[in-house]
Structure 1
């Protein structure tokens, strides 16, 4: 083993070479010279710089790869969206924006709460295709009278909710397999007079007829299974026969409730309706609530048209003769304060704390707000909020459920119309369905 400094790199000032032996192997010196000093630091810095450049290049490469992967995913997503849009257009058709027409549905002050059937909506006109039989004015009455049970969908072609219901309504009509049930629909755009005659004020309205008479309007879910379940219950339910109250019988309709025809409520605990019937020719049973936007215009109309004509509350100077008109307010308000501030002058009210009595009237007449149905145990109703039921003080019968519509159409003449119906003993509804 020898040391040969001539084979080492040229010396530079400040460099120090450690004595690392170089071994001769076939005339070639082998070994690792170690340099200490400025040159070593320079070599080390060069090595570190090289590592940083490699790391930076690797990072840039990874960034480019991630960017390319994200771009590929974005392109794939866009392709899927365009493919779905193309499939939708081919399936349902395409109406250019400049050809779309719009219809504004007028304000509806009706028996339904505003959150159930919005009073105003703007929807594009499209077609509602259905294989369900369609009834017209010329055939409707005979068809309903000739069949035991008829379930009717009153719809329009421009209503977006009707469009959503149409496929489920068609499948329901095909699947129900009830021999005595006919499932049909009426296009209220084509048959406006028929829908006015049936007091259709919101779309779609699903109405059940039994033996030619209205049983109720369906207010549940509108999928196939829910419709089948509802139809099954209605087919099994026996018609409720209410006893007629003789004219000389001083009992009110609520007494029938306490006798077992609806929620059991002792009559003695609910004098308001009886008191009104005993002292009036016509009684308006007003179902409303301060939180319901649709109730406000009807409340104002009742106050403006009949405010001074109503029978004064108990304790006031009433006189001995029957009064032409009285009003009993059946509240759906959230508190007694809301009810008392909402009620108008000369209104009789069912006390707010008497929840059972108010609930009994709602269940008996099948009139309630949509959000009240679960707490009342009701799965259907005839009317929502606001509703005005007109009762005869003489016969103790319901003259009509359509007090709202009569008042909107006839205003102050509505009272004479109701009195004529009561005198003729031909009420629009003989009993609560």
Structure 2
């Protein structure tokens, strides 16, 4: 890894991938096909793009039950414990509707209502991502969403990975469709004969999924357009170099464009971590991916002191931040921008990915400066409640009318004036 001193241009931001013109055109074409041809387009595209010749789009109850025979019991126990942890954390995020009454009789408030339906995209094919299911489904369930739909691209034999089906079953998700890519996003947004549309789409995917989510935004809501994964480790001379190297590589193996950064006050630690990264790379199954990530987006910054190091971290606004210093808890209050903060040597980033409870769907590419992890609020909407009393209108009506006329909206002003005049 490159070891450099701090300069004014510290950044881990990458250009947002808006796809090539060919990719954008392909997505637009797929969406049009699904809108115009419905299920027929889904079957055709799934055969062409995923190599699966399906007879039914929806996963059957029998498929769900059979999946349990292919997942070890200790994995099922781990899934159940992770679900419990994630539910417990998200329950604490739930908001209540509220009302307040003023002395003049005015009632004001906010009504919190869960969305009616949500579609969760789960990447598939050769890989299985049970954690993605848990992190997207659980906050929606806690929010009170009644209909949660899951879509995932099938394997060539027309099945979904057993781990995906078992996780969905443990969460009680029953409406699952074997469709992926831009066609799945289009189906969720516009609906087909077999797939009723939803109000919001969440979940990660490849560039075609991201472009499709961007294209249907407005017809439905979406969670975010996430970029490549990133980690920043803030460490002093007391940190363990092998721990840091392992954690940097845990993100580097995601993607060639993933970013792994160490910000430290110790030149000695910087050199040890750089050497340890090279050592651990040699035995990593995804060495080629991780090596490209470290080469192009990996760096070690050496700061003069912790004050400067923290300034760098806040400038980076990372998706994942680990604090590995002598007294890490003392630094939490100084961190302004980070998607998730992992504190101490035993809070490795994968603890948050799978098990601890907080959501692992996090803002990337510096957007932690203004956005938050996926949470229960993302699956609700708020309605304002205004019950103005006669006394309040009489007391404030003239001011309301004046403000309306200031904006040149006479009808607005007259709607108030007619009440002040006492007309029924």
Q: TM-score, normalised by structure 1?
A: 0.26
Higher relative contact order (CA 8 A, sep 6+): 2
Larger Rg: 1
Q: TM-score, normalised by structure 2?
A: 0.26
